[in-house]
Amino acid sequence: MSLRWHTIVVTLNIVLLAFAAHAQTSDVGQHLQNQYQDRIFLLRGFYSSDELRYDATIGTPSPGFWTIDGFVLVTDAKVHGQTLVLQGRRMPVVSIGQGFQFQADSPKKRKKTLSVEIEAKLGPGNLVEEVDALTAKIFLTDQDSLVASVPSYWQTCVSAGLNENDPKHLGCRFSAELLPIPGVNPHADPRSSPGEGQTSLSEHQMMHVFRAGKDILPPRAVFSPEPQFSGLARDIGLKGTVTLGLVVDDQGVPRNIEILYPLGAGLDEQAVAAVTTWKFKPAEQKGHGPVAVKIAVQVDFH
């Protein structure tokens, strides 16, 4: 082959490669517009940083609260070279009246929520396939369960709210706007082990948990520090009462804390954090001494 023909073949190959790359970039751009632009997703780990950088192994930034950091509205989605770039807005949820709803319930309010930028390195394969594989590691999918993703003290509330099968958990129900989001799945409801900071009662102890009544004097809090407001709740002026269920064991230690009636915006986690430090004079059964008792407590944010 002459040098001239060799040059023509090389040039043609470069043109074909450039055309294929352009076509693939065009395809992934259209795919991003159709599948991700202006849609809300649930961030795995509920990471709280305003800049999230992922590589092929997915990093481990600091986890936040699902009611503040979990939901992300993707406002722009692009691929630059081998990097997926997502611009978004945090979409906090609050529980007012009949359950969870987005705090920013209008386009004007959404423009004022905290921004987040996500960058992730794509692999060498087909760009559309790489984007979908990577976003499935960044966001929850339809095969995932929010119930399994939240701490144990949230699981009863979230499960009851998704399934709407418990009138005692009206404040845990999810609005129609939340239900279609991938991961907010009432049919995927595996229970996980107790979360960090949660202490389970042994089977033997659980068999001896009572309720305060005629023969049982209820426990009394002797050390009950006030909870802290979350920054978001303070900013938006959210106030109210979080109701928690818990067991006070025969040593006066709170255990098995769960959220019964939430407020959202991070206040529920602050209530749990505070009550975890409380100390009680344990309940007493007449003639038998201290016993473990299941109670509900209200934590006020005003």
Domains of the chain, first to last: 25-143 (no CATH), 203-301 (3.30.2420.10)
Burial class (CB in 10 A: 0-12, 13-18, 19+), 169: buried
pLDDT at position 27: 84
Selection from 207, 231, 228 nearest residue 270 by Cα: 228
Q: How far is 236 from 234, CA to CA, in rounded Å?
A: 6
pTM for the model stands at: 0.84
In terms of Cα–Cα distance, which of 290, 222, 277, 286 is closest to 246?
277
pLDDT at 213: 76
Closest CA to 43 of 20, 65, 76, 75: 65
Which runs of E-coded beta strand occur in the chain?
A: 40-42, 51-54, 71-80, 83-90, 93-95, 100-102, 115-121, 209-210, 216-217, 220-223, 240-248, 254-261, 279-281, 283-285, 289-301
In order along its 302 residues, the chain shows pLDDT tens digits of 555 544 554 444 444 344 344 445 678 889 999 999 999 999 999 999 899 998 755 555 678 999 999 999 999 999 988 899 999 999 999 998 789 999 998 888 888 899 999 999 988 888 999 999 999 999 999 999 999 999 999 999 999 999 876 777 889 999 999 999 999 977 664 544 444 444 444 444 454 887 777 788 999 999 999 999 999 999 999 999 999 999 999 999 999 999 999 999 999 999 999 999 999 999 998 888 899 999 999 999 98
pLDDT of residue 164: 76
Query: Is the Cα torsion angle 187, 193, 199, 201 positive or negative in sign?
Result: positive
What does residue 258 show for φ and ψ, rounded to 5 degrees?
-145, 150
- Give the pLDDT score at 205: 47
> Tell me, what's the pLDDT at 165?
67
